[in-house]
């Protein structure tokens, strides 16, 4: 037996300031007594190893060592604690852990003198009584054996479950988790490095740029060192596992970013560029006059129609990019992810790889992927252009207050429902910094204007009217439209259209694109014929600008949406095939 690894075990009956070392014993050595915890014979239960404290003259089973009958713990040095079985106590008595406030499970420790209670999980925590060289302070720190009911000097928060340490010489008190806060960090929510400072100047009044709540100047926080920058973040917000990548940068030199390394194109002439995503030169067009054909010309990056905005057009083939999309950098930092993101312009032809990790919509355009090979989700994390162009804080036209992207604790305290579509926000969403207003990224990325082939004017996004706003009818499905919900309208021509009728689930799917679904090849086709095809799933006319065609063995299936496509292929069997009215391919 290798006894060296047991040398650091201490008797849990001894005082933490003067711990007794436990000695490992084997079954070859005759025990002097029964197990101090369970009062059973040491060797009767077949254990090959047990522990002995020669100072206290007690012995423990290997499995019983972690839960002795009596305990002297750093959280309550005044009195010993007794192990209690809640089943042996009256049912009307409710015990909570004095340290963390949680309700006890069956076993817990209790002080019969002052009613102090400690649950099992807290009893396993043995903080050091003294920290001689703390990173956050210039004096040694002593363990503070009480739940901290005042703000921590390093983070400004009150957290009773986090052990704390104090420097009585400086009247400084800090959480155990804040002792080694990094001094210099870089987060993707800000372009500069941030440094931890013990307080802010009283002339600065700022809110945290992560959670957007007030920052108390008296306590530690992270701030930007640039003279013209006023970026500030709470200590716990800036070092949150979703915000910070875990790298301490105090002694690492700051490398200036070379714009040439992130530029997506090179200028090769007047209004001519060579983009990394295309083999031909692209020419800048200042204005697209043929608005009636807007549905036929799509940006290859965001997959939205080319409208009157400036755009780049290929001089040799049918390839177009919005000027804004063509300028998207090859690499960028974004609040949606804690690592740097890199632009991927290659087509993804597998259905499972076509979903945006933020809005969960399928797309066939450009995407940003995690650059960090050590990231646990780098292989599956991707963001389409529509989501990446939204800043972490912005004001949407449908709401009077700024919206921000909250971190994990603020997102999953309860089930979040989008105020617009009334659907559950599964992963990422935007939250109002002032009131209880939440919006999913799908709703936030709807374009403000779209072009409809049966209207010469662009349709504007209407954010709902009052209940007595009158009746409207959708120009596509010819059904009544709920005027209290979002819809597209042309005020000049009195045209109104449902959002789902003009986009459906195919807003970011471009015609001519082909992808693989399971073992089947699916084509995305433009829905511009005089007679719209009938979906084999819902048996309705395909309403949106694209539809899907797949050959199921010898049968051709048409789907109006990705939902119908999934349902039909996943639910098909030979009995269904015989009943379907499909076209046999010869």
Structure tokens at 122: 């807290």
Residue 224, phi then psi, degrees to nearest 5: -85, 140
Residue 308, CA atoms < 13 Å, CB-side half-sphere: 8
583 has a pLDDT exceeding 50: no
Do 322 and 266 fall within a single domain?
Answer: yes
Q: What is the pTM of this model?
A: 0.79
pLDDT in the model for residue 584: 41
Residue 285, in any domain of the structure: yes
Looking at the structure, do residues 541 and 484 belong to the same domain, yes or no? Answer: no
301-360 tens-digit pLDDT: 999 888 767 899 999 998 999 999 999 999 999 999 999 999 999 888 888 889 999 999
Domain extent at residue 497 = 447-502
Q: How high does pLDDT run on average in the chain?
A: 84
The answer to whether residue 307 sits within a structural domain is: yes
Asked if residue 380 is part of any domain, the answer here is no
Give residue 572's pLDDT band: very low, low, confident or very high (50, 70, 90): low
Q: Phi/psi of residue 274, each to 5°?
A: -115, 110
Please indicate, yes or no, whether residues 519 and 575 belong to a single structural domain of this protein: yes
In a domain, 420, yes or no: no
Same domain, 533 and 570: yes
**Confidence class for position 2, pLDDT limits 50, 70, 90:** very low
- In this structure, the answer to whether residues 569 and 542 fall within a common structural domain is yes
Taking residue 66's Cβ as centre, other Cβ atoms within 10 Å add up to: 12
Is 159 contained in some domain?
Answer: no
Burial class (CB in 10 A: 0-12, 13-18, 19+), 247: exposed
Q: Which pLDDT score is estimated for 3?
A: 42
Q: How far apart are CA 205 and CA 553, in angstroms?
A: 67
In a domain, 175, yes or no: no
Percent of the chain at pLDDT > 90 equals: 36
Provide the pLDDT for residue 285: 86
Query: Using 50, 70 and 90 to split pLDDT, how confident is the model at 128?
Result: confident
In the predicted structure, residue 382 carries a pLDDT above the cut 80: yes
What is the C-alpha separation between 233 and 222, in angstroms, rounded? Answer: 5
Nearest residue to 234 via CA among 250, 203, 249, 212: 212
- Measuring CA to CA, which residue among 36, 118, 28 is closest to residue 73? 118
Residue (of 327, 250, 299) closest to 510 by Cα position? 299
In a domain, 85, yes or no: yes
Please indicate, yes or no, whether residues 308 and 275 belong to a single structural domain of this protein: yes
- Binned at pLDDT 50, 70 and 90, residue 291 comes out as very low
Scan for tokens 């009746």, then name that residue.
Answer: 471
Task: Tell me the pLDDT tens digit for each residue of 6-56.
Answer: 446 778 777 777 788 888 888 778 787 887 766 778 776 566 778 888 888
- If one counts the domains in the chain, the total is 4
Task: Count the neighbouring beta carbons within 10 Å of the beta carbon of residue 8.
Answer: 9
CATH code, domain with 498: 3.30.60
Do residues 175 and 184 touch, judged by C-beta distance below 8 A? Answer: no
Cβ pair 58, 11 in contact under 8 A: yes
Beta bridge partners of 166: 142, 173
For 75, which DSSP code?
T
Cα–Cα distance, 444 to 358 (Å, whole number): 11
Residue 88's pLDDT band, with cuts at 50, 70 and 90, is low
Residue 385 lies in a domain: no
DSSP string, 526-586: E--SSSPPBPTTT-SB--SSEEEEEEETTEEEEESSHHHHHHHHHH--HHHHHHS--EEP-
pLDDT band at 90 (very low <50, low <70, confident <90, very high): low
3-state secondary structure of 96: strand
Residues 184/250, Cβ–Cβ less than 8 Å: yes
pLDDT at 418: 92
d(CA 414, CA 420): 18
Secondary structure of residue 458 in the 3-state scheme: strand
Mean pLDDT of all residues in 530-536: 87
pLDDT at 92 over 50: no
For the segment 223-241, the average pLDDT, to the nearest whole number, is 91
Q: Which long-range contacts (CB under 8 A, 24 or more apart) does 543-546 make?
A: 543/476, 543/477, 543/501, 543/504, 544/501, 544/502, 544/503, 544/504, 544/506, 545/295, 545/502, 545/506, 545/511, 546/506, 546/509, 546/510, 546/511
Residue 261 has pLDDT above 70, yes or no: yes
Most confident of the ranges 139-153, 233-247, 524-538:
233-247
Residue 101, Cβ neighbours under 10 Å: how many? 11
Q: Is the pLDDT of residue 516 over 60?
A: yes
Q: CB within 8 A of 144, min separation 6: which ones?
A: 163, 164, 165, 166, 173
């Amino acid at each position: 037996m290798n006894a060296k690894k047991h040398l650091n075990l201490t008797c849990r009956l001894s005082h933490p300031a003067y711990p007794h070392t436990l000695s490992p014993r084997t079954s070859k050595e005759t025990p002097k007594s029964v197990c101090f915890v369970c009062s059973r014979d040491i060797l009767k239960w077949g254990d090959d190893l047990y522990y002995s404290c020669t100072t206290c003259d007690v012995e423990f089973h290997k499995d019983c060592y972690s839960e002795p009958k009596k305990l002297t713990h750093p959280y309550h040095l005044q009195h010993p604690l007794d192990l209690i079985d809640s089943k042996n106590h009256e049912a009307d008595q409710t015990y909570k852990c004095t340290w963390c406030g949680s309700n006890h499970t069956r076993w817990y420790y209790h002080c019969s003198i002052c009613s102090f209670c400690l649950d099992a999980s807290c009893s396993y925590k043995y903080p050091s009584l003294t920290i001689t060289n703390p990173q956050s302070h210039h004096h040694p720190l002593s363990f503070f054996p009480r739940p901290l009911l005042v703000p921590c000097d390093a983070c400004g928060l009150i957290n009773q479950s986090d052990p704390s340490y104090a420097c009585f010489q400086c009247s400084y008190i800090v959480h155990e988790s804040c002792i080694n806060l990094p001094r210099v960090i870089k987060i993707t929510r800000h372009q500069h490095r941030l440094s931890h400072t013990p307080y802010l100047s009283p002339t600065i009044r700022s809110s945290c740029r992560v959670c957007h709540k007030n920052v108390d100047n008296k306590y530690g926080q992270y701030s930007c060192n640039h003279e013209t920058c006023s970026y500030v973040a709470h200590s716990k917000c800036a070092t949150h596992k979703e915000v910070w990548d875990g790298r301490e940068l105090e002694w690492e030199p700051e490398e200036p970013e070379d714009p040439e390394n992130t530029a997506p194109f090179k200028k090769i002439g007047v209004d001519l560029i060579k983009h990394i995503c295309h083999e031909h030169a692209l020419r800048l067009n200042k204005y697209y006059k043929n608005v009636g054909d807007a549905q036929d010309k799509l940006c290859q990056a965001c997959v939205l129609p080319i409208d009157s905005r400036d755009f780049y057009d290929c001089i040799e083939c049918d390839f177009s990019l919005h000027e804004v999309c063509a300028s998207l950098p090859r690499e960028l930092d974004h609040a949606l992810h804690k690592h740097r993101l890199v632009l991927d312009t290659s087509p993804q032809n597998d259905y499972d790889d076509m979903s945006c990790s933020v809005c969960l919509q399928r797309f066939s355009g450009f995407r940003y992927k995690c650059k960090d090979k050590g990231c646990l989700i780098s292989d599956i994390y991707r963001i389409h252009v529509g989501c990446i162009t939204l800043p972490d804080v912005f004001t949407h036209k449908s709401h009077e207050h700024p919206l921000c992207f909250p971190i994990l604790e603020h997102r999953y305290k309860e089930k979040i429902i989008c105020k617009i579509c009334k659907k559950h926000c599964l992963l990422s969403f935007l939250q109002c910094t002032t009131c209880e207003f939440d919006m999913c990224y799908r709703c936030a990325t709807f374009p403000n204007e779209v072009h409809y082939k049966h209207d010469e004017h662009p349709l504007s996004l209407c954010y709902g009217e009052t209940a007595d706003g009158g009746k409207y009818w959708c120009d596509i499905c010819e059904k009544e439209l709920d005027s209290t919900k979002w819809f597209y309208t042309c005020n000049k021509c009195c045209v109104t259209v449902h959002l789902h009728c003009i986009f459906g689930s195919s807003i970011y799917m471009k015609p001519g694109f082909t992808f693989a679904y399971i073992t089947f090849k699916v084509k995305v086709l433009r829905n511009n014929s005089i007679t719209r095809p009938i979906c084999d799933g819902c048996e309705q006319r395909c309403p949106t600008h694209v539809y899907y065609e797949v050959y199921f063995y010898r049968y051709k299936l048409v789907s109006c949406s990705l939902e119908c496509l999934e349902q039909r292929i996943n639910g098909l069997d030979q009995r269904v095939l015989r009943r379907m009215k499909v076209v046999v391919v010869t």
